[in-house]
Structure formats: structure tokens, C-alpha cells
Chains A and B, each alone.
Chain A
Amino acid sequence: SQTIHQWPATLVQPVGSPLSLECTVEGTSNPNLYWYRQAAGRGLQLLFYSVGIGQISSEVPQNLSASRPQDRQFILSSKKLLLSDSGFYLCAWSVLGWTEAFFGQGTRLTVV
């Protein structure tokens, strides 16, 4: 069966520090991968998606970047965090890109 791992679960980082969140999927090949963010009291905002290794599409101009160095690995990064980067970050995967997507458990990022 397929599983998705996302870590860390919580993270407190100072303003101006770098960020690296990692997501890996097991049990499937060539998944579509996604990064979403849920800000406090808001919906799920699509940040990045990837349909293959090295292929990244950005939805929202911001202080973040994403990379997909391996088929089932998706990384969310920032060189210098801002206070506004705080939120709940979710990684997800899907097979076809329109049928159900499956989410990881999320990372609560607090920038202080």
C-alpha cells in the first residue's frame, strides 16, 4: 500500500533562518506531488506541484521554493524565513492529478 511521510511534525524557526521540509511517498511510482499551506483560519492554498523529477510548477509567488530530486521525494525550502511563512504545511500525492489526492500529516511551522 502507498504511504506518505512528512517531517518534521512541528518546527519553530527564527526570522531569516533557512527552511527545508521533506516529503517522501512509498508504494507508487511517478506520483504527482503537491505542497499546500493552511494559514490560520484559512483554506488550503496550493504552493507547488510536480508531475515528474525536476518539474516544478509554482502557484503563488513567495519566499519559498520546491525541488523534486527523486521520483518520490518532494522538498520545500526557503533561504530566509519571514513571519508570514508561518502556517501548516501539507504534502500530498496523487496518481492522475485529478482523482483523489492523499495527504501527509503536515508540519506546523512557526516563525518567530
Chain B
Amino acid sequence: DQQVKQNSPSLSVQEGRISILNCDYTNSMFDYFLWYKKYPAEGPTFLISISSIKDKNEDGRFTVFLNKSAKHLSLHIVPSQPGDSAVYFCAASSTSGTYKYIFGTGTRLKVLA
């Protein structure tokens, strides 16, 4: 049972445009969400997170939006740069003490110069 889903395995965007990566979750216990960026043969690096008490969190070019009623979150990258080309994973966790991070299957972003 895939509790965190990233339904788009890949996305191509022109440099300078907006990249929108989507993520859906099914477990209502999740109340904290994270986005990670991963290059091949490296560990994922943390990008940005959002608590369920918020609907938006912004950090530079990266903004995460959370729609709790739809159990949906998205990562916006503006403007997209070639260096953003990587696999992006969303992850969900719970502040209630389960101590687990459940990851989606990832979306491969390619930013075209």
C-alpha cells in the first residue's frame, strides 16, 4: 500500500520557467511533509518542509503548498535552473511519535537550457 504517491515519474521544463512537482498521501496521521532532491549515486538532500498547520512555506526559489483536505502537496521551483535537474522525493511523517518517514517514488526533473 503506497501511502505517499508521486504519480509523475518525470517532468521536463524549460530553464527560467516554473517546475511543479506533485505528491499525494493517503494516511491522515501524516502531519509533516518534506521534499528531498537526489542526484544519482548520492544520498538525498533536504530541500524544504511544511507542517500541516500551514498551507504554504517558501524558501528562496522553492515553495511548498499543502492542501490537507485533498491530501495533496506540491513543490514549486521558480525560476527553474539546469542545476535543479535531479530526482525529487516527497516524504511524510507524523509528529505523534511514529518516527518514520514514508517516501514517494520520486519525480525526475529535467530542466532544459
Binding site for B on A (CB under 8 A): 6, 32, 34, 36, 42-46, 49, 51, 57, 59, 88, 90, 92, 94, 96-106, 108
Contacts and interface: CB of A to CB of B under 8 A. Distances in A.
A106 B106 contact: no
B113 interface: no
A92 B45 CA distance: 11
Given A90-B44, A100-B34, A103-B44, A42 B100 contact: no
Select the residue from B41, B43, B97 with max chain A CB neighbours within 10 A.
B43
Interface in B43-74: 43-46, 49
Contacts of A104: 43
Given A43-B89, A105-B43, A108-B41, A97 B97 contact: yes
A103 B89 CA distance: 13
Interface of B: 6, 31-32, 34, 36, 41-46, 49, 89, 91, 93-95, 97-106
A101 B98 contact: no
Given A90-B43, A105-B42, 15 more contacts: A43-B103, A43-B104, A43-B105, A49-B100, A51-B99, A88-B41, A90-B44, A98-B32, A98-B94, A98-B101, A100-B49, A103-B36, A106-B42, A106-B43, A108-B41
Secondary structure call for the A interface: strand
Contacts of B49: 99-100
A97 B42 contact: no
A43 B101 contact: no
A98 to B, nearest CB: 4
